[in-house]
A and B are shown apart, each in its own frame.
Chain A
Amino acid sequence: MDSLKLLAGIEPLQDIVLDATLVREMQCAAGTTDDGIDFYTPSFKSYATSEIASCGKSAWPAVSITGPDCKLQCDHCKGRILASMIPARTPEELWRVANQQIEHGARGMLLTGGSNHRNEVEYDPYYSTIRQIKDAFPEFRIALHTALVDRDMAQRMEDSGIDAAMMDVIGAQETITQVYHLKRSVDDFERTLENLVATRLKVVPHIVLGLHYGHILGERVALEMLRRHQPSAVVLVVVMPFYAPAHRPFGVPDSLEVGRFFLDARLALPDIPLLLGCARPAGQAKAEIDAYALMAGLNGIAHPADGMVELAARLGRKARIASVCCSVAVGGEMVAESRLWAKSGALSIPA
């Protein structure tokens, strides 16, 4: 059945506008994709729609080793993304936070922090504590945002016992210089990817679509890098324009361009799990982006827009829901941590 006609029957999606030509191309390519779709609801953001009930438990918090502080002050963030995370500014505090979160039901955490001027997060004082956490709670998953690393740093991350390594891959020098205010090169990002993939870590790089003030610029170069290095999975996110300061505004990336990139990425990486991560614009743009992601054959979506569970069902894709970070829950682990959803007329799903 025509995917656009399906949308018209789903109340939360009735107002979105999708490009018929791109949707047709996605339908033609759909034969190459897996028929399941995983929805993730990591609890660093309280989340509820008419389809997925809010999960009160802190199953997947985000922790920053620098609190809101970041030397880079990139134009799209200015440290505000870190500000909503749990601060753990010392190794002792990290140990305490991890124990508290586990006591409150956490099954893992995103561990990150602000960068120094070289786009490195200074984890060195924390590695022994991370190891201690993993030794004490081996089932507790840690997804680490690596930023840029050399071979030694990648090795120390592996030795600490983390479960997944995440980094943003940037493919345009203009974006590195202007948005990140960084004196590093595109090659530095590729070398980081290479260094991480050389370890035994599960490496889950991210591409931030629209990172150049809302425009697509280096994303396809980044995609080529990923094709060369074949990571464990790839997360696509879309820049959130609302954290940018008024004097350097970001536009909302065009949904059609984002959808086109989803299809290109799906075709370029047919054997690698491809996921839509937590970050993206809000409102109607989010609904359009999510619908394109589903139709393009992405394997998972974090914090899906209202109506996505029903759209997945109508497209014949089996939906599974898990309250974990998509960067960790790739592959077979998802099955144990999720519940299979089958539409039976009920619109509310306990998460």
Chain B
Amino acid sequence: MNMALVRGCNFPDDLYYNVDDNVWARRESDGTVIVGMTTYGCALSGEIVAWTAKKVGRAVDQNKSTGTVESGKWVGPVKAPVSGEIIAVNEAAVALPSTINTDPYGAGWLVRMKPSDWIGESGLLLSGQAAAEAFEAKMQTEGFPGCA
């Protein structure tokens, strides 16, 4: 898989990113969307100790919360990159939240959604080189030293 490396944080090229909220979306062949946190978001939060997702069946608007992530120094929402219905929650990440840190683009995914307007809303997300440049700018602004 091709990926950009920005200050030690990797960003796979095949994902769509909401840079401000540090979340990614991956469109599956069946039209559903997997959502997770970026390596950058995981580095900022530190070891995640809890992932509390909204229930399957809930409709969530773009940029609204799909659930709450908590670490020793951070509690906050994971915002939906696009609007849609939550159709699955990664129970493995609920049971072992540190999976989100160790494999944020794989086993540490958070929810699967059925998007209501992927074509219309995904245009607001960034991918590839544009995402890498936006993350670099964000890290510069926030004084982020880099992923360990």
- Tell me, yes or no, whether A binds B: yes
Query: Is there an interface contact between B49 and A48, defined as CB atoms closer than 8 Å?
Result: no
CB distance from B73 to the nearest CB of A (A): 4
Query: Is there an interface contact between A306 and B68, defined as CB atoms closer than 8 Å?
Result: yes
Q: Decide if A283 is an interface residue (CB 8 Å cutoff).
A: yes
Chain A contact residues, majority secondary structure = loop
Partner of B50, one of A15, A83, A282: A282
Report Cα–Cα, A216/B116, bound state, in Å. Answer: 47
Query: Is there an interface contact between B77 and A242, defined as CB atoms closer than 8 Å?
Result: no
Partner of A50, one of B51, B55, B77: B77
Report Cα–Cα, A325/B76, bound state, in Å. Answer: 19
Total contacts A-B at CB 8 Å? 49
Partner of A282, one of B46, B49, B76: B49
CB distance from A30 to the nearest CB of B (A): 28
Query: Is there an interface contact between A83 and B76, defined as CB atoms closer than 8 Å?
Result: no
Q: Decide if B99 is an interface residue (CB 8 Å cutoff).
A: no
Contacts of B70 in A (CB 8 A): 282-283
Chain A positions 243 through 279: 1 when the CB is less than 8 Å from some CB of chain B, otherwise 0: 1000000000000000000000000000000000000
Query: Is there an interface contact between A283 and B50, defined as CB atoms closer than 8 Å?
Result: yes
Report Cα–Cα, A158/B64, bound state, in Å. Answer: 47
Count how many chain B residues have C-beta atoms less than 8 Å from C-beta atoms of the other chain. 17
Known A242-B49, A282-B49; contact A47-B76, beta-carbon cutoff 8 A? yes
Contacts of B74 in A (CB 8 A): 45-47
Q: Decide if A226 is an interface residue (CB 8 Å cutoff).
A: no
Report Cα–Cα, A303/B72, bound state, in Å. Answer: 12
Closest to B64 in A: A50
**8 additional A-B residue pairs with CB within 8 Å, beyond A80-B72, A84-B46:** A44-B73, A45-B72, A47-B74, A47-B75, A49-B77, A83-B72, A283-B51, A283-B52
Footprint of A on B, CB under 8 Å?
Answer: 46, 49-52, 55, 64-65, 68, 70, 72-77, 97
Residue pairs across A and B with Cβ atoms less than 8 A apart, 18 shown, are A15-B55, A44-B73, A46-B76, A47-B74, A47-B75, A48-B76, A48-B77, A49-B75, A50-B65, A54-B76, A84-B46, A84-B73, A240-B49, A282-B49, A282-B70, A283-B51, A303-B75, A306-B68
5 A-B pairs with the lowest CB-CB distances in the bound complex, closest first: A282-B50, A283-B52, A242-B49, A84-B72, A282-B70
